[in-house]
Chain A
Amino acid sequence: MSITLRLAWRNLWRQPRRTWLTAGAMVFSNVLLIFLIALQLGTYQAMIDNTLSAFSGHLQVQQAGYKEKQRIRQVVPRIRDVAEDLRSGLGLNSIAARGEAFTLASSESRTYGVLIIGVEPEFEPRASRIPSLVSEGRFLDNPDAPEIVVGDILALNLKAQIGDELTILGSARDGSFAAAVVNIVGIFDSGVDELDRSLAQMPLEFFQETFAMEGAGHAVVINAPSLFEVEAVAEKAKSLLPGGQNLVVHDWNDLQPGLRQAIQADLIGSWFMYGILVILVMFSVLNTQLMSVLERTREFGIVMSLGLSSGRLGRLVLLETVLIGLIGLTLGVALGGIATSWFEAHGFTYPGMEEMASQFNIPDRFYPDLNAISLFAGPTVVFVGSVLAAMYPMARLHWLQPVQAMRSA
């Protein structure tokens, strides 16, 4: 070990209490940052997965412009063939064709506006969670039966139950009047109020017949194996689409812009809070190093008189800060990693969580997501901030004169 490193290390332990207090502040903030960032990433992941898997999926193949105007005429022709080609081309089963139509649904006593989705009963359970969220009755099982499943809030609003008939009235693709009478076979509870209030699903073939779709539909929903693979799957899906039909692939950012905005808004608030935490740690380091420099002025005068340049002296102070920072980084990452991985495995909750979870479509138990980013991003910023905080004490050394320094008490 070089003398400079030995000198820096031993200088730290001249005031062990002060060194531990400073390192302790770093450790505390690092543990906190690791946990909070992991929690935030875990929550976003859950939020995205829950929202996308509930209905919209990671990707959707649509006619260009359908997402914006949602006209019934903007179709994907021979949609079941397109979906089948994508399933085999991408090697994924979590792909399903859908048709969509805005209608009026009437029960015996009430009428509500409803978004009717025609789904493939065989494939829809692999592409969305709604089939698994049927809380009463069953999901659709016949491709052309006049059956429907509705959200629980919609059922409540319509005062309808399993076995009741609903009359569907809307416009067909060819501009004609579309009407059907369907039986309610299931009621789902997705936990997303917006879906539960306005969504209903019927078999795709019955939907195509009712709305004169002639084998067409509006969207092929694709769920990638994970969020990180969405981009690659989207690229491959584009190459598998039939040419000349003006079809496009939208990713979840396009489909759910509100989700990204909500996450971004939350991130801004969080970064602000993290920034304050890092600044507090920086002040703690600044205080320690400034005190340390001031009380060693005479000693610095000595080493300068021996031939140590102010630049090298500054580097010594920087090295001391780096060493404290490394203590804070190592202990913080170790403790933060252990604590967060425990919560990652077991999750945690608190009273009132269920209500909030339902509102934001997240699970009622938090599971932090410990990965390289959540483990190292916060501690690295604290480390860099601490080193930056040492710049001022370092700069003071530049103006130090050996004779004046040695005269100081």
Chain B
Amino acid sequence: MDSVRCVGLYKTYKQGDQIIIGLDGVNLEVEQEGFACLQSPSGAGKTTLLNAMGGLDRPDGGEVYVAGKRIDNLSKGQLAEMRLHNIGFVFQAYNLIPVLTAMENVEFVMQLQGVPASERAMRAREALNEVGLEGLENRRPAKMSGGQQQRVAVARAIASRPAIVLADEPTANLDSSSARHLMELFAKINETRGTTFVIATHDEMAMSYAKRLIRMRDGKIVEDQLQET
């Protein structure tokens, strides 16, 4: 079964008087336990595609299915609920909640899901251990390095046990060593937990960890290939 499937996605933006084509008839299926990288130059549509897959943005045309359920026609509230239970996000700029500790950030989504407190704490601790942040549970984002913050974001994304993790330029703000550690972490989680990853990046190193490389240009998929890792 597919984790995510896009059928004939079409999306345009208005920029002044100009109409920009973000997605131009994109068809894509990412299978369960898949590890795919979307690669394109800036503005070629990878973030737009990622946002459409994650229900953050609504396409102008086409259909999106997550875990077998069509999501492009859901209401705003239904989309929020869908994201809460099915999608884990990792963003370029870490995007942690600054007033919460690492542990609380990881617990946050689970609390929204209604996971009981004891289980929530157990899963959050487990996820933080998995990303190598044991001992930093009570630290706030401002007291952590960029790499550590990004790992908290990964722990947050996986602790809620989503069907798919969508990561948008997750290595862009990291030094090469932290970026490599992060990608190794993604690969390990994909391997051990079977979590599906779709990563938008133009970082060649990051791409080298993907099992599948999808290249985009002008809103279209121009190349889709499996690769050895």
Chain A contacts to B: CB under 8 angstroms? 2-4, 6-7, 10-11, 14, 299, 302-312, 401-403, 406
- 18 pairs, CB–CB < 8 Å, chain A vs chain B: A2-B111, A3-B107, A3-B111, A6-B100, A6-B104, A7-B99, A7-B108, A10-B100, A303-B97, A303-B108, A305-B91, A306-B84, A307-B81, A307-B84, A308-B84, A309-B76, A401-B57, A403-B51
B161 within 8 A of partner (CB): no
Q: Smallest CB-CB separation from A405: which chain B residue? A: B56
Among residues 44 to 68 in chain B, which have CB atoms less than 8 Å away from a CB atom of chain A? 51, 54, 56-57
Give the dominant DSSP class at B's interface: helix
Chain B contacts to A: CB under 8 angstroms? 51, 54, 56-57, 76-77, 80-81, 83-85, 87, 89, 91, 95, 97-100, 104, 107-109, 111-113, 156
Q: Report yes or no: A406 in contact with B99, Cβ–Cβ below 8 A.
A: no
Q: A307 to chain B: closest CB distance in Å?
A: 3
Q: A395 to chain B: closest CB distance in Å?
A: 15
Contacts A307-B85, A309-B77: A402 and B104 contacting too (C-beta < 8 A)? no
Q: Report yes or no: A3 in contact with B95, Cβ–Cβ below 8 A.
A: no
Q: Smallest CB-CB separation from A304: which chain B residue? A: B80
Bound-state Cα–Cα, A63 to B112, Å: 73
Q: A106 to chain B: closest CB distance in Å?
A: 87
Q: A304 to chain B: closest CB distance in Å?
A: 7
Q: A2 to chain B: closest CB distance in Å?
A: 7
Residues of A close to B113: CB separation below 8 A: 307
Contacts A307-B83, A309-B77: A7 and B97 contacting too (C-beta < 8 A)? yes
Residues of A close to B112: CB separation below 8 A: 306-308, 312
Bound-state Cα–Cα, A306 to B84, Å: 6
Q: Report yes or no: A306 in contact with B99, Cβ–Cβ below 8 A.
A: no
Q: Residue among A6, A14, A305 with the most chain B CB within 10 A?
A: A305
B83, B97, B98, B99: the one contacting A305 at CB < 8 Å is: B83
Bound-state Cα–Cα, A404 to B107, Å: 25
Bound-state Cα–Cα, A389 to B68, Å: 43
B77, B81, B91, B99: the one contacting A14 at CB < 8 Å is: B99
Residues of A close to B98: CB separation below 8 A: 14, 299
Bound-state Cα–Cα, A214 to B164, Å: 104
Bound-state Cα–Cα, A33 to B122, Å: 50
Residues of B close to A304: CB separation below 8 A: 80
Residues of B close to A401: CB separation below 8 A: 57
Q: A312 to chain B: closest CB distance in Å?
A: 7
Q: Smallest CB-CB separation from B99: which chain A residue? A: A10
Q: Report yes or no: B100 in contact with A306, Cβ–Cβ below 8 A.
A: no
Bound-state Cα–Cα, A302 to B113, Å: 16
Bound-state Cα–Cα, A3 to B104, Å: 7
Bound-state Cα–Cα, A304 to B83, Å: 9
Residues of A close to B97: CB separation below 8 A: 7, 299, 302-303
Residues of B close to A305: CB separation below 8 A: 54, 56, 83, 89, 91
Bound-state Cα–Cα, A307 to B81, Å: 6
Bound-state Cα–Cα, A69 to B81, Å: 76
Bound-state Cα–Cα, A163 to B56, Å: 100
Q: Smallest CB-CB separation from A404: which chain B residue? A: B57
Q: Smallest CB-CB separation from A303: which chain B residue? A: B97
Q: Smallest CB-CB separation from A306: which chain B residue? A: B109
Q: Report yes or no: B108 in contact with A3, Cβ–Cβ below 8 A.
A: yes
Q: A29 to chain B: closest CB distance in Å?
A: 28
Q: A338 to chain B: closest CB distance in Å?
A: 33
Residues of A close to B54: CB separation below 8 A: 305
Q: A188 to chain B: closest CB distance in Å?
A: 71
Residues of B close to A307: CB separation below 8 A: 80-81, 83-85, 87, 109, 112-113
